[in-house]
Amino acid sequence: MKNRLKVLRAEHDWTQAELADRLEVSRQTINAIEKGKFDPSLPLAFKAARLFGLTIEDIFSDEEA
């Protein structure tokens, strides 16, 4: 799954650890999501969307999309 998490994080000048704290996950989880090695759960995707004030679709997209 493609995502814009790294770009959005950079726009807010947050480290992976800072974003992880805000989303209540580990820094390793953020790293894996940003690299496309891990797809977030739906609750985590909703939490990220709320944090950035975007829709899930604005952050995450299907590989084919």
Tell me what pLDDT residue 23 has: 98
Query: Regarding the domain with residue range 2-55, which homologous superfamily does it belong to in the CATH classification?
Result: lambda repressor-like DNA-binding domains (1.10.260.40)
The β-bridge partners of 60 are 3
Tell me what pLDDT residue 3 has: 96
Does this model's pTM top 0.75? My answer is yes
Q: Give residue for tokens 């995707």.
A: 45
Tell me what pLDDT residue 62 has: 86
Q: Long-range contacts: 21-30, Cβ < 8 Å, 24+?
A: 22/51, 23/47, 23/48, 23/51, 30/5
pLDDT digits (tens, 9 = 90+) for 9-46: 999 999 999 999 999 999 999 999 999 999 999 999 99
